[in-house]
Structure 1
Amino acid sequence: MRDWLYRWHYAATDGIRKIRQHKFWLAILLCLFISLLTLNLAQGERKPQDHWVWVDIIGEGATSICIVIWLLLVLSIRSSGLVTNWFAMGFIGIFASAFQGFLDKWLYLPSTAVWDNWVESFPMGLLALTMALWLWRKEQHQIDLNLTRRQAIYKNPFPLDSITNLSNTTHLSTQLKEAYEKGPINWKRHALILLDVVPFSYISYRHGGREAERFLMTISELITLTLRRHDVLCHLAEDRFAIVLKNVDRPHAQRLALELEALINQFRYRIEGMDDSIAVGASMTMVMAEQGSDLPETLLNKATAALSRQHDSVFSNTLS
């Protein structure tokens, strides 16, 4: 429960911080709200309460609130830019129409006032939102081209780790089980790599949980770039990752493991706001099924035991 509250507080704080970066659009929204409310109250008369249609009032009011929530959600996950601006214009335009419709449900405006019909009916917001969606589609297409290695991760039905966006222990067990069930020949061409990345504990202790999470995200991206498209990367807990190499023999698996180990050892992580970087290392073990009858649990236990035996061996250059 405490961990859930911490994550909720962290997500809410981070979302509010990002929304505050879009002060211009928040100011536009507030000015529009005040202007419409002032104009309607100044020129209109309140309808008798027996003329109110509560279903319409609640519906229009709820629509206006939902549109504001959609706008805030978009602003909380996007940086400033062309696509964000079109999204903001679209949602604010739609809000103006919905909010004017809400005010019309309980206020009479004189017949000489035609501006309210323009505000309520002119599809400026829908046109802007359509443009935003079109630009967003092009943006997503470019992102998809650069994230083909992660498509298999995002398409699996299992929940992803909230920090690294990688699959968890459940998905690892499923991958091993599926490989085992396809027969001993296929099973013996799978390798399991377990690795503990350092200095996760040092970063968490000296620089806090947020920096430690950023470190894990960086390492997960680094490992993902080195893997083949059909290999599987999972985040098990804290600094531990697991990799399932598919369709490999032992020499090939050992070569891939050595390449990954060398890449991690050459990487230096830079703490946000600091000039100096920190050397990174990893304790790593690679195992394969010696016999086609070896169970997935046996393979995982064997890898865990091997990693535990070398866990105290810390790279001499770490924290140098």
Structure 2
Amino acid sequence: MSSSISNSSNRHLERPPQARRTDFSGIWVALVTPFCASTVAEVDFLALQALASKLISEGVTGLVVCGSTGEAAALSAEEQLQVLDAVLAVVPANQVIMGLSGNHMQQVMHRLAQTGQRQLAGVLVTPPYYIRPSQAGILHYFNEIADASAVPVLLYNIPYRTGVNMELATIQQLAKHPNIVAIKDCGGNLQATMQLIIDGDIQVLAGEDHQLFSTLCLGGAGGILASAHIRPDLLLRLQAHISTGQLEQARTIFYHLLPVMQALFEEPNPAPLKAALAASGTMQACLRAPMQTATAETTEKLLHAMAQLELIK
């Protein structure tokens, strides 16, 4: 497979009109799932709804529920639907994306059908984890999901979690499906990112927080970010500055945000983020084992970086 960039910027004109049912551009929050401080770490639904409402009121495009930041792997299928329904009770459905992952095809399709009974913006789907399917297997998996889904599908390429990378040619082929409309890009391949943006067949959203600025400058549509919990107004201003060509202003904001982004991922996500939110009184810093709370050192570094952001008006 070649990683060179070809000039195919007009290819999107051939895309079926129904493919763009939803515009996913903007700043989406990869939402945490708050837990209570108990033996089983039950979901704190009151804190979840308060946080979801707060973020929407602050102007973010929407929320991604039960993704990796939401500790979906630590939630049962029933709990995931309960978390989704709790968010939908306080947030408009067109501002909610549901995470979907698994390596048992029938179970994934069953959960897709249950999710599709809700009116959502879309579902964010990873390749099957652990089993490391071939590219042909990935194509089959996503085509089956996209054919069956009642809502638009967003690809989630995150090889360091799933154990398999979605190659550029695979993504390009999937991007032709009328129900596959966007990708959360954590693949770490700049050539592939640029080619997908040039193709114009699929909206490219930064999935690595520190790559938001470069992705937007290259023409990406936005981001799905854990750091959007903290000063989302700055992320929104950053995107607005880039869209109007004010790169110096956008760059200044980004470099103010960067220490927070870096501190958030010094330990496994979302431990530092939950520590930061706990410090602000939003929720408790509880995670489900084997995840552990952030160390005092990381928490101190993160809170210091956040304090610097408070100086920005």
Q: TM-score range by the shorter chain?
A: under 0.3
Q: Taking CA–CA contacts closer than 8 Å with sequence separation of 6 or more, which of the two structures ends up with the larger relative contact order?
A: 2
Q: Which has the larger radius of gyration?
A: 1
Q: TM-score, normalised by structure 2?
A: 0.22
Between Structure 1 and Structure 2, which shows a larger proportion of helix residues? Answer: 1
